[in-house]
Amino acid sequence: MLKSPFTALIAAAVVSAAVVAPAGAAPLDDSKPLKIGIIGTGNIGGALAKHWAKAGHEIVIASRHPEQLKDLAKSLGPKVRTGTPKEAATFGDVVLVSIPYSATPQLGRDLQSELKGKIVLDTGNPYPNRDGPMANDARKRGTGVASAEFLPGTRLVRAFNAIKWTDLTHEGNHPGEKYAIPLAGDDAEALRVAQRLVRDAGFDPVVVGGLANAKQFDVDTPVYVKLMTATQLRKALNLPK
């Protein structure tokens, strides 16, 4: 919870900074493959790397031990290579951050220059038993608000945090109405790009609202890790059809 008007002003400034594209930056061309940096190529990041490589995007997959990702990169084709988190952040027009939530503040400090103005998709969830006291604070405020402070200057979208990695891996392109992925963000272009990438992964995007609304699909909410179609998700969250 924000402790003072001064703190509230700081938080507002952080959110404001998160929605500004670099000066002179052209909108991303939806007709062309994107350059994507993936920081944290574990279960979620690895599943998305496979989906997005199949869709034709150029990708740098990164982790603390990039040498361990060489076989994965090779299996995904010539448009995928390994790198450090800094290299992935520098490379990507879009950067996926899929790391333990407690590591997010340090990542934001270490890569602030590389991530500034970038569209960042944040998948992390705060778990107190893993991430410590900061997780309780993030849950109280909502991850959209907390992550915007941890990743200042980015064009942040909360995405792919409310689905099990096994479902993300195997349930794409579900017959009939696809399963939905809820999204929240304050930047219109970032949300548009995020929606494209959700579709490229085989799912149906549902924009829930701004970053403050990400709290509606945080850990322990009724829709968290529940496979739902877009129609079902909108009904569960009382969103317009």
pLDDT digits (tens, 9 = 90+) for 131-176: 999 999 999 999 999 999 999 999 999 999 999 999 999 999 999 9
Is residue 58 helix, strand or coil?
A: strand
Residue pair 237/181 in contact by the 8 Å Cβ criterion: no
CATH for 33-236 (3.40.50.620, 3.40.50.720, 3.30.56.10, 3.40.50.300): 3.40.50.720
Q: Please, where are the H alpha helices in the chain?
A: 5-18, 43-54, 70-76, 85-91, 104-110, 112-115, 128-131, 133-141, 143-150, 165-170, 188-200, 230-236
- Give the E-state strand segments of 40-190 in sequence order: 58-62, 80-83, 94-97, 119-122, 155-158, 180-185
Section 218-238 average pLDDT: 98
**pLDDT for the residue 31:** 74
Q: What is the pLDDT of residue 15?
A: 38
Give yes or no for a contact between 61 and 77, defined as CB atoms under 8 angstroms apart.
no
Write down the pLDDT at residue 22: 52
**So what's the pLDDT on residue 25?**
59
Q: Which two tokens stand for residue 66?
A: 């990039």
Mean pLDDT over 32-58 rounds to 97
Q: What average pLDDT does the segment 173-180 reach?
A: 94
pTM value? 0.88
Q: How confident is the model at residue 26 (pLDDT cuts 50, 70, 90)?
A: low
- Say how many CA atoms lie within 13 Å of 171 toward its Cβ: 18
Percentage of the chain with pLDDT > 90? Answer: 85
Residue 9 identity: L
Locate 235 and state its tokens: 């009904």
Query: Cα separation of 191 and 158, whole Å?
Result: 9
* pLDDT for 110 beyond 70: yes
- Token pair belonging to 55: 């869709």
Identify the sign of the CA torsion 27, 111, 199, 237.
negative
Q: Which of 20-24, 102-106, 155-159 is least confident?
A: 20-24
Mean of pLDDT over the chain? 90
List phi, psi (to 5°) of 220. 75, 5
* Domain extents in the chain: 33-236
201 CB-side CA count, 13 A: 28
**Taking the chain, what is the end-to-end CA distance rounded to the nearest angstrom?**
32
pLDDT score recorded for residue 56:
97
The yes-or-no verdict on residue 102 having pLDDT over 50 is yes
